[in-house]
Amino acid sequence: MCKGPEVEGELGQRGTSQLLINFKLHTQPFSLFWQQPCCYWPINIMYVSSRPSSRSELWLEAFGDHEFLCSTSHEHYGRPCCVPREDVLTGGAVVWEDVSEVGSSLSGIINAEKSEFNEDQAACGQLCIRRCEFGAEEDQEWLTLCAEEFLTGHYWALFDGHGGPAAAILAANTLHSCLRRQLEAVVEGMVALQPPMHLSGRCVCPSDPQFVEEKGIRAEDLVIGALENAFQECDEVIGRELEASGQVGGCTALVAVFLQGKLYVANAGDSRAILVRKDEVRPLSSEFTPETERQRIQQLAFVYPELLAGEFTRLEFPRRLKGDDLGQKVLFRDHHMRGWSYKCVEKSDLKYPLIHGQGRQARLLGTLAVSRGLGDHQLRVLDTNIQLKPFLLSVPQVTVLDVDQLELQEEDVVVMATDGLWDVLSNEQVARLVRSFLPGNQEDPHRFSELAKMLIHSTQGKDDGPTGEGQVSYDDISVFVIPLHSQGQRSSGH
Amino acid sequence: MCKGPEVEGELGQRGTSQLLINFKLHTQPFSLFWQQPCCYWPINIMYVSSRPSSRSELWLEAFGDHEFLCSTSHEHYGRPCCVPREDVLTGGAVVWEDVSEVGSSLSGIINAEKSEFNEDQAACGQLCIRRCEFGAEEDQEWLTLCAEEFLTGHYWALFDGHGGPAAAILAANTLHSCLRRQLEAVVEGMVALQPPMHLSGRCVCPSDPQFVEEKGIRAEDLVIGALENAFQECDEVIGRELEASGQVGGCTALVAVFLQGKLYVANAGDSRAILVRKDEVRPLSSEFTPETERQRIQQLAFVYPELLAGEFTRLEFPRRLKGDDLGQKVLFRDHHMRGWSYKCVEKSDLKYPLIHGQGRQARLLGTLAVSRGLGDHQLRVLDTNIQLKPFLLSVPQVTVLDVDQLELQEEDVVVMATDGLWDVLSNEQVARLVRSFLPGNQEDPHRFSELAKMLIHSTQGKDDGPTGEGQVSYDDISVFVIPLHSQGQRSSGH
């Protein structure tokens, strides 16, 4: 490990504290932005740790054997130190370790070199949500806030870019801020015994609490709503930013947030999060691909046929039809069908299908492998004016894991990873790897990081790998391993 | 029990055999239509049993203490006998027993007298699907067919009407025929080892079987597709029939089909089917109401705002907003949200909500309590031109129970019932009633019928009822209890 340039500074005691470090790795710029009260770091090329218990200190470390340029701008009030490190894995892989007290999260990212720049991006950090009193003016002066005035949580996010890394980088830089803003807008409802009908807490109708009760609205629904709105807001920001800078692209987004004893997992795309416990493997997200969302996509084309501009057929067939199929009865399904039937092939059925291909090869309008994600506002089918966006949604699905209700074991973890991992490893295979690795490494403080590394390693086709199955993934891979035990402890400690 | 008019006839040995009996109960006409090869009976006011093993006989019995007129039209080839019987339960209840070898199904129907005529309708019977050889001309002459040329199954259906019984009666008269037609159109694919890409069995592409394999298309997907298409076709028939006869109304539809060792349950509306076994209660359907389908409905209004004609707001609030709420931040959710957030109330938010109310009171466009069903083509919001139909779907959700894979016990049953039952009894309560009733009545050949009766009885607020909880249902109720054991035996016997 070689030591790189160090940047030092002091953390401001009051006022808006922020730190911006711009990295340049080859020609790709990375920025590291830290702002109180939301501690956050895009960690694509860097390892970051922070000890929020003493908020006057901030350590930054960046690992990698790349030449890089490190500069700071604005005032910086921390004591960051950037440490480049040799690659641990072949194939452009970079592994980060986070032994901080913040998120106790670990991540590994491998660049499959599909593109010059890594299209996988990640971010994690502490989420500090400022609480304001009911009725407090929104534009009141920023006050010196003590820890008790924040609601703190933790945030992990993986973004898998396509059409370049631009959208993924923007998402890694932006989504946490959107989420913090959305959460701050509803935080008083979140901390109430029951979210009030009116955020002011004032009852317009005496039976307002009863209406809220009957709808079953709980504090966690406000976090779910905040995540859903944050994705929407971030998508709009990315759309504006890409248009302004003449860039293109999109990305999937998988976000985990630990807040008030619960883990929220929001997913738009084909990344995946699973819970692995001694006797349980539980998916915490579902994938959104042209295949899994076929009926929604066909339904939209049925309601709005103009979206296909007469170039595509809405119907699904087992393969693309050709002239020889004309007049034959072939298998098909339409928007209202989960099952299959036969139809007599007409000329219009020979058009390119709205959704074509199968499994990893399935494509929306022949263009996109995912049906949800951020960005892609300008994306059109090659040589046409047909837009992907109305079929492509930025809406995540949010699942909630009530961590406080689990009898947590030391080795209960959440594994979040981009599709590169799940292409070659099933949930059960990952669970087996987790269970075989952790018990033998109980003393290793880096064991969760080593586990993330090992998971990536076992996708690189090494026959001597832990599964001995020699699977090979040719995609970028990012993995977070989040030990739940420390989250649960932190939650119950508050 | 008093004996009623008998109708006798002979069953034709060849040619199209059909029998139509028109009943008139008070002023409401009922028709009973039997046609080979699909044995089928609308059983709203009658008990029907058929012994298909000797297809030259058909017994019909109608129970009820009502005066009725029985007449036959067309040629009839059966030996039907219609036997009215006293009501078993109060409140206009009629109970049917089916001890036939056909479906071993039992049903009870109670008319809550919400309307002059019972809006609950039911149908059950044997489903005989004619097999034709690959390449056989479709319009070939109807041949004398022996039993082996049929694929036989069983069919049970419940329809809960609204706006009058017309749609429910039409559905009970029609859906089975639509289903038979849809199944016959794909039967050669269903009985193949794997459904062929081309119904003719001819391979246009050498790798066609591989495409079908990769899509994972199985015989059961053709049954699912047939059910989905049958619902759509039946909905169109009802639309035409109601328009032609100047009638209105709609109905929910819950259908169970036992075919080739599997039980298919198709549901559009708020009826429900559950599997009750010794150690298991499994829902076999989901309800489709404005609440459960909120996001789909809001999404449609988002894509097509003109559908609301400026009269409704797409947003959901805990209650209808009023002038006092203007400018306040209140709880809301939009189409992209499963969670809740707060928004500042504007004037347009004071409009009537697209979906309003909660639980049993939730209404689509202030009009309809279900979001899926058959009929309602003409239904508009009162005093407006706003149609329900684009929001209301006729598409069922189909679930498959692999009965052959279950280690069936004598007392494993499927309970199908309209919402009147589920309003007051949970799945677990019904399961408890089933488990407490059946073991003590093992010798009773009518025990499944008695169970259906008892389930209905326990919704009539009798404190001495088996649950002792005194729940009262004020809705029509229909119940089928289907013992799976005899289905499984019949299946394995083939």
CB distance A231 to A225 below 8 Å: no
For an interface test with A, the pick among B337, B358, B394 (most A C-beta atoms closer than 10 Å) comes out as: B337
B200, B205, B329 member nearest A319 (Cβ): B205
Confidence of residue B86 (pLDDT cuts 50, 70, 90): very low
Q: Among all residues of chain A, which has the CA nearest to that of B296?
A: A296
pLDDT of residue A147: 42
How does the average pLDDT of chain B come out, rounded?
76
Condensed to tens digits (0 to 9), the pLDDT of residues A223-271 reads 999 999 999 999 999 999 999 999 999 999 999 999 999 999 999 999 9
Max mean pLDDT range (A2-11, A408-417, A451-460, B97-106): A408-417
Contact B340 A211 (CB under 8 A): no
Q: What is the pTM of this model?
A: 0.80
pLDDT of residue B258: 95
Condensed to tens digits (0 to 9), the pLDDT of residues A84-139 reads 222 322 233 333 333 333 333 444 455 555 555 678 888 888 888 887 654 444 44
Does residue B233 sit in helix, strand or coil?
A: helix
Q: Which of B30-44, B409-423, B438-452 has the lowest mean pLDDT?
A: B30-44
Separation in Å, CA of A456 to nearest CA in chain B: 28
User: What is d(CA B363, CA B317) in angstroms, rounded to the nearest whole number?
Assistant: 13
CB distance B288 to B397 below 8 Å: yes
pLDDT of residue B473: 79
pLDDT at B197 over 60: yes
pLDDT of residue B116: 55
pLDDT at B474 over 50: yes
> Which chain A residues contact residue B220 at CB under 8 A?
339
> Which chain A residues contact residue B212 at CB under 8 A?
318, 331
- Please list the alpha-helical segments (H only) found in A287-363: 294-303
pLDDT at B98 over 80: no
Confidence of residue A494 (pLDDT cuts 50, 70, 90): very low
A154 Cβ contact list (under 8 Å, min separation 6): A102, A103, A105, A124, A125, A126, A127, A257, A258, A259, A487
Would you put residue B468 in left (φ > 0), alpha (ψ -120 to 50) or beta? left
Average pLDDT over residues A378-382: 94
Q: How many other CB atoms are found less than 10 A from the CB of residue A328?
A: 17
Number of helices (H), then strands (E), in chain B = 8, 24
Contact A202 B359 (CB under 8 A): no
pLDDT of residue B146: 43
Separation in Å, CA of A423 to nearest CA in chain B: 16
Q: Which of A72-86, A279-293, B260-274 has the lowest mean pLDDT?
A: A72-86
pLDDT of residue A194: 93
Higher pLDDT, A80 or A459: A459
Condensed to tens digits (0 to 9), the pLDDT of residues B257-314 reads 999 999 999 999 999 999 999 999 999 999 999 999 999 999 999 999 999 999 999 9
User: What is d(CA A362, CA A20) in angstroms, rounded to the nearest whole number?
Assistant: 40
pLDDT of residue A442: 84
> What is the bridge-based pairing of β-strands B59-61 and B477-483?
unpaired
> Which chain A residues contact residue B229 at CB under 8 A?
337, 341
pLDDT at A43 over 70: no
Q: Among all residues of chain A, which has the CA nearest to that of B356?
A: A215
pLDDT of residue A8: 34
Q: How many other CB atoms are found less than 10 A from the CB of residue B356?
A: 19
pLDDT at B94 over 50: no
pLDDT of residue A45: 30
Does residue B39 sit in helix, strand or coil?
A: coil
B222, B322, B333 member nearest A340 (Cβ): B222
Confidence of residue A460 (pLDDT cuts 50, 70, 90): confident
A139 Cβ contact list (under 8 Å, min separation 6): none
Higher pLDDT, B484 or A86: B484
User: What is d(CA A66, CA A116) in angstroms, rounded to the nearest whole number?
Assistant: 14
Contact B325 A198 (CB under 8 A): yes
Which two tokens mark A238? 């990315």
pLDDT at B110 over 80: no
Q: Among all residues of chain A, which has the CA nearest to that of B195?
A: A331
B217, B330, B393 member nearest A198 (Cβ): B330
Q: Which of A12-21, A402-411, B246-255, B456-465 has the lowest mean pLDDT?
A: A12-21
Condensed to tens digits (0 to 9), the pLDDT of residues B205-216 reads 999 999 999 999
Contact B185 A304 (CB under 8 A): no
Contact B228 A182 (CB under 8 A): no
Contact B224 A197 (CB under 8 A): no
Condensed to tens digits (0 to 9), the pLDDT of residues B292-308 reads 999 999 999 999 999 99
Percent of chain A past pLDDT 90, that is, above it, reads: 55
User: What is d(CA B166, CA B119) in angstroms, rounded to the nearest whole number?
Assistant: 8
pLDDT of residue A378: 93
pLDDT of residue A95: 37
Q: Among all residues of chain B, which has the CA nearest to that of A391?
A: B303
Condensed to tens digits (0 to 9), the pLDDT of residues B365-374 reads 999 999 999 9
Contact A337 B223 (CB under 8 A): no
Does residue A337 sit in helix, strand or coil?
A: coil
pLDDT at B487 over 80: no
Separation in Å, CA of B322 to nearest CA in chain A: 9
Average pLDDT over residues A381-393: 94
pLDDT of residue B348: 97
User: What is d(CA A203, CA A194) in angstroms, rounded to the nearest whole number?
Assistant: 13
Q: Among all residues of chain B, which has the CA nearest to that of A390?
A: B303
Contact A341 B211 (CB under 8 A): no
pLDDT of residue A441: 87
pLDDT of residue B489: 62
Confidence of residue B62 (pLDDT cuts 50, 70, 90): very low
> Which chain B residues contact residue A207 at CB under 8 A?
319
What letter would DSSP give residue A140? Answer: P
Give the residue from A97, A376, A429 showing the smallest Cα distance to A252. A376
Separation in Å, CA of A220 to nearest CA in chain B: 8
Average pLDDT over residues B174-192: 94
Percent of chain B past pLDDT 90, that is, above it, reads: 56
> Which chain B residues contact residue A182 at CB under 8 A?
341
User: What is d(CA B282, CA B280) in angstroms, rounded to the nearest whole number?
Assistant: 6
Separation in Å, CA of B56 to nearest CA in chain A: 34
Which two tokens mark B311? 């009269």
pLDDT at A349 over 90: yes
Separation in Å, CA of A338 to nearest CA in chain B: 7
pLDDT of residue B5: 34
CB distance A492 to A402 below 8 Å: no
Question: ipTM, 2 decimals?
Answer: 0.80
Residue with tokens 């109430």: A192
Q: Which residues of A384-413 are buried (b: 16+ CB within 10 A; e: fewer)?
A: eebbbbebbbbbbbbbbbebeebebeebbb
Strands (E), B85-167: 94-96, 106-110, 120-130, 150-162
Condensed to tens digits (0 to 9), the pLDDT of residues A324-338 reads 999 999 999 999 999
Output the DSSP codes for A180-225: HHHHHHHHHHHHSSS--SBTT---SSTTHHHHHHHTT--HHHHHHH
Average pLDDT over residues B337-351: 98
**Sign of the CA dihedral running B236, B237, B242, B245:** positive
Q: Among all residues of chain A, which has the CA nearest to that of B331?
A: A197
CB distance B466 to B450 below 8 Å: no
> Which chain A residues contact residue B393 at CB under 8 A?
336
A220 Cβ contact list (under 8 Å, min separation 6): A262, A264, A400, B339
Higher pLDDT, A450 or A401: A401
Average pLDDT over residues A66-85: 25
Give the residue from A94, A109, A31 showing the smallest Cα distance to A64. A94
Confidence of residue A448 (pLDDT cuts 50, 70, 90): confident
Length of chain B in terms of residues written: 494
Separation in Å, CA of A175 to nearest CA in chain B: 17
